[in-house]
Structure 1
Amino acid sequence: MDDLQRLEGWLSPLLSRLTEAERRVLARDVARYLRAGNVANMRAQQAPDGTPWEPRKPNALRQARGAVRRTVNKPLPMFQKLHTAKHLKAQGLADEAVLQFVGRADRIARVHHFGLEDRVKPGGPTYRYPTRRLLSITADQVERIRDLVIFHLQRF
């Protein structure tokens, strides 16, 4: 968080000179960049720091589905639909760049991100899910955001 606070302190005076529309464009670009990075991590089945997620528990029914077409019996990736644009929204506002899960996906993502306990199915047993970090900002992304801001300020 210290990097973000330093970035915010450095950016505040520069961003105050931009119009609201220009800040919105910049925030939208930053949100899109952050979304792309987090989606790449989800596809790679890893946390933002590069550590692999704990694999899901083996399930014979899940593995049997599509096994005829799959030549290699490897586990199916997690969160195949969660990282789509329908569920993971990137939004640029005048004062902030927002990256969030929406709707039912928000609850699912929160349970997995923080490793909470939830029902496996409605009315079914509860299970404590392992922590799988879905969204974060890395030090490399902070540097890239700084570069995006500098590039954006040069255009206006």
Structure 2
Amino acid sequence: MSEDLQRLEAWAAPLLQRLQPAERSRLARKVGMGLRRAQQKRIAAQQNPDGSPYAPRRTPTPRRAKAGRIKRGAMFAKIRQARHLRVRTSPQEVTVGFTGRVSRIARIHQEGRSDTVGSNGLRVTYQRRLLLGFTQADEQLVRDLILDHLAGQ
């Protein structure tokens, strides 16, 4: 993945150097918003960046099983909302990531860490589910947004 980002940076750097800082900030905002939409769609589809499905939820013990829509619904329904998945931009960079308390939950799932369930609950090791990642489609999206912006000048 880092090779893809380095290749994209090498391609875009000479094009972006010709732009004024305000123009680069506008372009960075467009790119960030496009990447956030792509990440939201991928999280809604319950897929890792490589296209594989997320690891399913663990099955609870029968005595603790909870009947209801919460356990049947898709994972990360709220975490993908724009108020949690933020875009930060500057003339030099674009960052798409989680903010606040949600970032801790996202990091646990992203890296497959263990955490306690509840305040005095069991310690559970969560399966690795890559919430954020850079795909080939994202790279193409960034290229298209840059080219469209440059063509519109």
User: Normalized against structure 2, the TM-score is what?
Assistant: 0.90
Instruction: Mark the runs of 5 or more structure 1 residues left unpaired by the alignment.
Output: 68-73
Instruction: String of CA shifts for 1:15-69, please: whole Å, max 9, x gaps.
Output: 11111111111111111111111111111111122111111123422xx2349xx
Q: Does 1:39 align with 2:36?
A: no
Q: 1:70 aligns to what?
A: none
Instruction: Mark the runs of 5 or more structure 2 residues left unpaired by the alignment.
Output: none
Q: Does 1:82 align with 2:79?
A: yes
Q: 2:122 aligns to what?
A: 125
Q: 1:11 aligns to what?
A: 12
Identity across matched positions, percent: 42
Q: 2:101 aligns to what?
A: 104
Q: Would you say the 8 A contact 1:21–1:94 is kept in 2?
A: yes
SS in 2 for 1:136: coil
Q: Does 1:137 align with 2:134?
A: yes
Q: 1:134 to 1:101 in 2, by over 3 A?
A: same
Deviation (angstroms), 1:102: 0.2
Q: Counterpart amino acid of 1:103? A: G
Q: Would you say the 8 A contact 1:26–1:92 is kept in 2?
A: no
SS in 2 for 1:127: strand
Q: Does 1:65 align with 2:62?
A: no
Greater than 6 Å deviation, 4+ residue runs: none
